[in-house]
Amino acid sequence: MSLELFTLAEIKDLAQQYGYWVVFFGIMLENAGIPLPGETITLVGGFLAGSGELLFANVLVAAIGGAVVGDNFGYWLGRWGGDGFLEWVGKLFKLDPAEIDKAKDRFSGNSDRAVFFGRFIALLRIFAGPLAGLSGMSYPRFLFFNAAGAIAWGTTMTSLAYFAGSFIPLERLVNYVLKFGLSALAIVLAWFAIPPAIEWWKLRSGASSSSEPNLEPTNLDQPNQPENVVAEELGNEASEVEV
């Protein structure tokens, strides 16, 4: 997910002119927090490799290298810049500050998976590095999952465009991948929203049940008496009748 700074045709023209540098710097800047279409740039690079204009191995190295370097930059921005950087990105995308805080809290408990799988999810690809730095994730651990995710993501995107580009138009392929990323983002947002919704429903259900009146039948004519007292009174009445 990114701002529409470049059209697909413009990205393709830039990649044809400047080759691997466009792939490297485009992905690096996106992963550092700049809203560039890094995923689209990678697909364009793979597509050009499939058509013979670029070398597949060089595109792959540029994509993986840009992803690793960019996310490292984002990590240290989050580590040193604190919440200020995250607030700036939130304003850029018009996100609710409360939602950003909630995402940061949940990220802390799932940092390994978020750094790795965040590569494949729209928007989270930009936030993963800064969130990892803000959450206090150790740098060696971040670097491992960051590099592993970059290799998996770069290989998948470049290979997909390289092989599928021969029988699927580039524009349609980009749309398919973007829809997948947005669908994954919707699942992540639901994962964040469902637990608070369940908790709210439980609290409301508990409050409703406690406010309901007690409808159990009670004997309003005679108060409850201990059994021994009732037996004693019956014995006295029987003795009076005999007399």
Residue 241 covered by a domain: no
- Say how many domains are in the chain: 1
**Is 232 inside a domain boundary?**
no
Token code pair at residue 227: 């059994």
Residue 18 lies in a domain: yes
Confidence tier at 1 by pLDDT (50, 70, 90): very low
Position 89 in a domain: yes
Spatial CA neighbour of 151 closest among 72, 66, 77: 66
Evaluate if residue 4 carries a pLDDT over 70.
no
Could you tell me the CA-to-CA distances from 229 to 10, 219, 234, 243 in Å, in that order? 97, 18, 9, 22
Q: Is residue 186 part of a domain?
A: yes
- Cα distances (angstroms) measured from residue 98 to each of 105, 135, 152: 11, 16, 32
Per the domain annotation, does 234 fall within a domain? Answer: no
Q: How do residues 76-118 score in pLDDT, each as one tens digit? A: 888 887 667 667 766 766 667 776 676 667 666 778 888 888 8
59 contacts 44 by C-beta, under 8 angstroms: no
pLDDT of residue 169: 84
162: Cα separation from own chain's centroid: 28
Q: What percent of the chain has pLDDT over 70?
A: 63
Which structural domain range is residue 147 located in? 8-192
Q: For residue 132, what pLDDT is reported?
A: 86
Q: Which two tokens stand for residue 111?
A: 């940092």
CA distance 45 to 178: 16
- Residue 136 located in a structural domain: yes
Distance of CA 146 to the CA centre of its chain: 16
What average pLDDT does the segment 215-229 reach?
53
Within a domain: 64: yes
Per residue in 123-172, pLDDT tens? 777 778 888 888 888 999 999 999 999 999 999 989 988 998 778 888 88
